[in-house]
Amino acid sequence: MILLMPAPVLEVAELAHTYPDGTKAVQGVSFSVEPGEIVVIIGLSGAGKSTILRCINGIVRPTKAKIRFLDEQVRWDYGYLLQLRRRIGFIFQNFNILEKLTVLTNVLLGRLGVQPAWAMPLYRFSQRDREVATAALAKVGLLKEWHKCAGELSGGQQQRVGVARALAQEPRLLLADEPVSSLDPLTADRVLGHFVRICREEELATVINLHAVPLARKYADRVLGVRDGRIVFEGKPSQLELTILQNIYGEEYDE
Amino acid sequence: MSSLLLEGSPKLPPRPRSPLAPLWASVKLLAAAMVVAYIVLALWHTGFNPWKLVEGAQRTRGLLAELLRPDWSIASQLLKLMNETVEIALLGTLIAVLISFPLAFLGSKNLMLRSAPGRVVYFIVRLIFNILRAFEPVLLALLFVIMVGLGPFAGVMALGIHSVGMLGKLFSETIEGIDQGPVEAVLASGGNRFQVVWYGILPQVAPQFLAFSIYRWDINIRMSIVLGIVGAGGIGYMLLQYMSLFQFGKLATAFLIILAAVTILDWASAWLRTRLGQT
Ligand SMILES: Nc1ncnc2c1ncn2[C@@H]1O[C@H](COP(=O)(O)OP(=O)(O)OP(=O)(O)O)[C@@H](O)[C@H]1O
Ligand SMILES: [Mg+2]
């Protein structure tokens, strides 16, 4: 039975982070994510959701944590972090694409980790890198737009560029920090649905921070409820009853 | 609203005054008196006298009239020198851009203030920018004339060094104004330090860098005319020569060529810069 259990891609244990100004953003968070699993983190603004994700890929160096990624102990030296980040795709609330560059070049940025040094100053990428980027563009349905300035696209399309850039890394883990919060509700649902479908197809371990409970219900395999930097709920989306949501969001919460 | 005045008329409470107020008032008065005195002194020292303009114009009417009869026989020679002036400015600007480009990253707060060695480098680079800006280009030109002799090369070097001050400052401030989002995105996809600069920052600042460089070239063209007067190449030197030889017809030709060239290039640079989305 134990042999049939897939090994988790990510294991976070006792993650804690205190910002230099003394804010205790995360306090003793532990969870793990398996291949093909969609874990959604919900919680109030300021609960520490972003900090958790940013600690996992080392953009923020946690005050204290034991993190295992693909059965390796995560360290925080420069060389290891480069190796770690190129295997973890990250999707941002504000897309964080380069508006002056073409859609294709933006997606190719997902290949920076394997770009040879001589090609770096020239914005050149290998044939294989271009093929991977093209495949990623096809996955998000932006093949036709490849030559456009990324800044000219609509918000929904820009976030799909962000998703394609993360996919181009051929990652083992995807982290998405409120990926659809700056889109209108209908587009948000469509973009997120498309994203989740890709993650399942590719059997990617995925962690998504979300504001909206309905979206969490619809797309999560497992939900983590975070309050004041601690996990106060872990379970199936079907278990998200009113009392539990009130525990996560506060007494005033109602549907 | 008229009812506002019916409830007894309120008085403004007295303005809070520090006990030193009378002292300050007399200090201000003294400062004002000193400024006025210095202006009077300056008028006296500079022999400021509008009447001289009228008198002088009458006395030199014949010479001034020559300015209206440009001597076109030397036009082609002057055009060549004007071209040299533009070239001096171009090379000077290019050198300045090559030097200030890497320095600008080392002189920007958002990239450097995170670590102690970074802060030291930042401070030194900003100091260099300020010192270079303080060096008048004419002084630099004289220095380079002594070092490499009369001629355009001295002008190129003077402009090249002086312009680093302004370009470096403008480039650094542009870098400080970038959106950190894309930088974080490049970091998050495993980009190293150089890739962060080259892919996360450069696309955001390149249009402005180009616009500032063109603007600086524009300024340098005018500056290089002045540098020519102290012997650093280009058309400027001829101005001095024609003046001292009282060849006002030739001087007029030089004036017109400079006026035309500067106007056209000014206009071209403004047009280019608006195309780059900058004014
Ligand atoms: N760079 C920082 N320096 C200091 N405090 C910070 C910093 N970033 C976040 N914080 C604080 O840490 C806490 C958690 O922030 P975090 O951004 O992780 O929350 P979040 O759940 O992602 O909120 P949101 O839904 O608003 O994105 C907040 O109190 C926030 O003010
Ligand atoms: Mg957040």
Pick among A53, A90, A93, A96 to test the B interface (most B CBs inside 10 A)? A96
Ligand 1 binding site (Cβ under 6 Å of any ligand atom): A 19, 21, 23, 25, 43, 45-51
pLDDT classification of A62: cutoffs 50, 70, 90: very high
Query: Which one, of A20, A63, A33, A73, lies nearest residue A171 by Cα?
Result: A33
Rounded average pLDDT over A104-129: 95
Residues A162-199: pLDDT tens digits?
Answer: 999 999 999 999 999 999 998 999 999 999 999 999 99
For ligand 1, pick from A17, A18, A21, A23 the residue to mutate: most ligand atoms within 8 Å of CB: A23
Position in ligand 1 atom list of the atom nearest CA A229: 14
Looking at residue B62, its pLDDT comes to: 78
Looking at residue B278, its pLDDT comes to: 53
pTM: 0.86
Write the DSSP assignment of chain A as a string of letters. -GGGSPPPSEEEEEEEEE-TTS-EEEEEEEEEE-TT-EEEEEE-TTSSHHHHHHHHTTSS--SEEEEEETTEE---SHHHHHHHHTTEEEE-TT----TTSBHHHHHHGGGGGG--GGGGGGT---HHHHHHHHHHHHHHT-GGGTTSBGGGS-HHHHHHHHHHHHHHT--SEEEEESTTTTS-HHHHHHHHHHHHHHHHHTT-EEEEEES-HHHHHHH-SEEEEEETTEEEEEE-GGG--HHHHHHHH-TT---
Looking at residue A254, its pLDDT comes to: 77
Inter-chain residue contact B190 with A92, CB threshold 8 Å:
no
Number of C-beta neighbours around residue B16 at 10 A: 6
Selecting from A83, A96, A100 the residue whose C-beta is nearest the C-beta of B203 gives A100
Q: Name all domains of chain B by residue range, CATH numbers in brackets.
A: 73-278 (1.10.3720.10)
Inter-chain residue contact B188 with A115, CB threshold 8 Å:
no
Q: Which residue of B has its CA nearest to A165?
A: B189
Residue type, A241: E
Looking at residue A208, its pLDDT comes to: 98
| Å from CA of A228 to ligand 1 middle | 10
Looking at residue B15, its pLDDT comes to: 82
CA distance A85 to A27: 23
Contacts of A86 in chain B (CB under 8 A): 189-190
A–B interface: beta-carbon pairs under 8 A: 69
Residues A206-231: pLDDT tens digits?
Answer: 999 998 899 999 999 999 999 999 99
Helices B236-244, B248-275: crossing angle, 10 deg rounding: 160
| Å from CA of A45 to ligand 2 middle | 7
Place of tokens 């006792």: A14
Rounded average pLDDT over A28-53: 96
Rounded average pLDDT over A50-64: 96
pLDDT at A37 over 90: yes
In sequence order, the 6+-apart residues with CB closer than 8 A to the CB of B89 are: B159, B217, B220, B221, B223, B224
Do B202 and B183 meet the contact criterion of CB atoms below 8 Å apart? no
Each of the 279 residues of chain B gets a pLDDT tens digit; together they read: 567 777 777 788 888 888 888 899 999 999 999 999 999 999 999 999 989 888 888 888 877 788 888 889 999 999 999 999 999 999 999 999 999 999 999 999 999 998 899 999 999 999 999 999 998 999 999 999 999 999 999 999 999 999 999 999 999 999 999 999 999 999 999 999 999 999 999 999 999 999 999 999 999 999 999 999 999 999 999 999 998 998 889 999 999 999 999 999 999 999 988 888 754
CA distance B108 to B172: 5
H or E element that contains B11: none
Inter-chain residue contact B185 with A112, CB threshold 8 Å:
no
In sequence order, the 6+-apart residues with CB closer than 8 A to the CB of A216 are: A40, A42, A210, A223, A237, A240
Contacts of B188 in chain A (CB under 8 A): 57, 59, 85, 88, 90
Looking at residue A3, its pLDDT comes to: 60
Contacts of B194 in chain A (CB under 8 A): 120
Distance from CA of A3 to the nearest CA of B (A): 33
Q: Name all domains of chain A by residue range, CATH numbers in brackets.
A: 32-63+72-87+171-248 (3.40.50.300)
Residue type, B205: V
The rounded mean pLDDT for chain A is 94
Q: In what side-by-side order are the strands of the sheet with A205-210?
A: A88-91, A173-177, A205-210, A38-43, A222-227, A230-235
Rounded average pLDDT over A136-165: 96
Place of tokens 């390149």: B206
ipTM of this complex: 0.93
Q: Which ligand is nearest to the CA of A51?
A: 1
